Structure 1
Amino acid sequence: MGETLQPVATSFNRSLRVESRAERLTGDAGAVVLREIMERSGIVEWMVPQLTDPRRQEDVVHDL
């Protein structure tokens, strides 16, 4: 009825395997795909130097 896909290992976490089985499908896998795209494209590493915070870091407080 459907095609069989081989499990996929991610580059950012080799212990994580993505499988396509009807009884285990979830929408949460989209986050894994997005993370894999970000890792392989290098977009985060490129963005880090582009983002600057002109505030004095010792004066920045975030209460939890």
Structure 2
Amino acid sequence: MKAFELRDKNKDLLNKELSDLLKSQFGLRMQLATQQLQNTSQLQKVRRDIARVRTVLTEKANQK
């Protein structure tokens, strides 16, 4: 997901996206701990997406 796609969404959708990403990250961490995760780069992608969503949320909060 790209930052410009996130900027088009409102805060409620961003918060839902953040919640989904955090759940996904938890699942990936559990898979990593139990050695079931095949593609370890997924963890880094999810972490970066979480950072993008949080950055856009902060930008929206600072605009007002």
Higher strand content, 1 or 2: 1
TM-score normalised by structure 2 residue count: 0.34
TM-score, normalized by length of structure 1? 0.34
Q: Which has the larger radius of gyration?
A: 1
